[in-house]
Amino acid sequence: MLLSTKSILGTKELTKQDIQQILDTAESFKEISTRAIKKVPTLRGKTIINLFFEPSTRTRTSFEIAGKRLSADVINISGSTSSTVKGENLIDTARNLEAMNPDILVVRHHCSGAPALLSQFVNSPIINAGDGTHEHPSQALLDLLTIRSHRGDLEGLKVAIVGDINHSRVARSNIKAMQTMGMKVRVVGPPPLIPVGLERLGVEVSHNLSEAIKDVDVVMVLRIQLERQNQGLLSSLREYSNYFCLTSETLAKARDDILIIHPGPVNRGIEIALDVMEGPRSLILNQVTNGVAIRMALFYLLLGENNANPN
Amino acid sequence: MSSTLLNTKDISRAVSRISHEILERNRGAGNIALVGIRTRGVVLSQRLKEQIEEIEDVTVDHGVLDITLYRDDLAAGIQKPELKKTDISFALEDKHIILCDDVLFTGRTIRAAIDALMDFGRPSSVQLAVLIDRGHRELPIRPDYVGKNIPTAKSKRVQVLFNEEDGEDKVIIQEQSN
């Protein structure tokens, strides 16, 4: 039992079998987090470096907790406190870290492709924890785990992804992973936030929220990235909310058992209404819990295995 | 090349004898719980549970342990077995835990299982029941209840087949194929 890749750079490289294996393994890891002693000795003596060049609460903590629950030593480095501020470039930083023999690098970077670039210069496996607008594979995997534990099977499920698809690495990773698992994906948002030509990937495009979520099993609401909204893509946040905020009124036409997920952090009242976010159909906190299990599974499957000679 | 060491009847006799021994030693089923080690230890523990419940007319707690995460050879580059769920939904405190496995060999699996159990609580005692003891211990571990002692050459492979997993009940010994 081996994954087909040495590093997890994106869901694009993962086969259906890989994803299934990651989800199955994560399912078994869930139980550990419910114990009184939430620790197993599996990765004792392994070192994990979290290299984060972008702010993060959920993802960084989740990777850290996942490593610690497996008894690995986890070191956190953030961009603002590293030698990057002295002018060291990314590759040199990674090479220096590698010289201290870590067993895995978890990288988040604001530039798309940064983890992939690093993987050419270091030998340790790399997990992409979000790179620019490219991919965020562990998020997509935890979304799939959340959906699967509520629906049993992923094959044939319909999903609507709502929001800024253009800038969303979460959407990108999810679209690929969901299609690999045989799910049907529809994206919803105002035209400036939907990439041109997305239909060619087999994704349905809609600009009407209440119509688009009528027949879906899952609706994934994305965060409107406030930091990117000075580009003139939206006339105003209020206008966006009027059309695309998920409220109980828009949900009235949807299926009763629809699942609502959101990768966080949430802008309350902008992309999702408060009562919906805290309502019974929202799985937002489930996702966070599942995130730890997914990351434990990734560490477990990438480490401990003989990865000295991949391929 | 394989030969049969125990057949269906032998296995069922061993299971009933062990059930009686467990009850005798623990003076009834009041404080005992059975925990099976995946995969075939679970079958043994379930059969013991059924027998004990029938003899004493009580319900006995039962748990399942996957020891994969506690193995000492994970980092050695050995192909990992598929990780399955551990399920121990009762408190271990003040319980006599009967740990069950199909074959006792080096003792390393039992070491891992004891470590795993201790992460769930502090049982009064841990006792070990195995269907086959084939010797060649590498750790100071001994069974409390044994179906059959079978002296073996280290190169041989002892395999327990259970109806629930393999479609038939028997114990066979084989030459290692590689």
| Contact at CB, B82 and A306, closer than 8 angstroms | no
Of A27, A35, A306, Cβ closest to residue B119: A35
DSSP element (H, E) containing B35: strand B32-37
| Contact at CB, B87 and A31, closer than 8 angstroms | yes
Q: Pairing between strand A218-221 and A73-78?
A: unpaired
d(CA A256, CA B113): 44
Beta carbons within 10 angstroms of residue B176's beta carbon: 9
| Contact at CB, B75 and A35, closer than 8 angstroms | no
Taking the alpha carbons at both ends of chain A, their separation in whole angstroms is 14
d(CA B164, CA B43): 7
Q: Would you list the domain boundaries of chain A?
A: 11-135+289-302, 137-288
Say which range, B67-76, B97-106, B138-147, has the weakest mean pLDDT.
B67-76
| Contact at CB, A304 and B120, closer than 8 angstroms | no
Of A28, A39, A42, Cβ closest to residue B84: A28
pTM, 2 dp: 0.89
CATH of domain A11-135+289-302: 3.40.50.1370
State yes or no: pLDDT of B97 exceeds 80: yes
For the segment(s) A137-288, the CATH number from 3.30.70.20, 3.10.110.10, 3.40.190.10, 3.40.50.1370 is 3.40.50.1370
Of B79, B81, B85, Cβ closest to residue A31: B85
Beta carbons within 10 angstroms of residue A168's beta carbon: 24
Report, as ranges of residue numbers, the positions in chain A whose pLDDT lies below 50: 305-311
Q: Do domains A11-135+289-302 and A137-288 have the same CATH topology?
A: yes
Q: What is the mean pLDDT of residues B94-102?
A: 97
| Interchain contact B121–A (C-beta under 8 A) | yes
Tell which residue, A265, A239, A151, A243, has the closest CA to residue A188. Answer: A243
Q: What is the mean pLDDT of residues B157-162?
A: 94
Question: Is residue A204 a contact partner of residue A244, using CB atoms and an 8 Å limit?
Answer: no
State yes or no: pLDDT of B177 exceeds 80: no
ipTM of the complex: 0.78
> How much is the pLDDT for A309?
36
Q: Is B160 left (phi over 0), alpha (psi -120 to 50) or beta?
A: beta
d(CA A186, CA A160): 5
pLDDT per residue over A37-89, tens digit each?
Answer: 899 999 999 999 999 999 888 999 999 999 999 999 999 998 887 888 888 88
- Name the burial class of residue A238, with classes exposed (0-12), middle (13-18) and buried (19+) by CB atoms within 10 angstroms of its CB: exposed
> How much is the pLDDT for B176?
74
Q: What is the mean pLDDT of residues B86-112?
A: 95
B9-75+84-153: CATH topology: Rossmann fold (3.40.50)
Tell which residue, A274, A282, A278, has the closest CA to residue A257. Answer: A282
d(CA A258, CA A157): 11
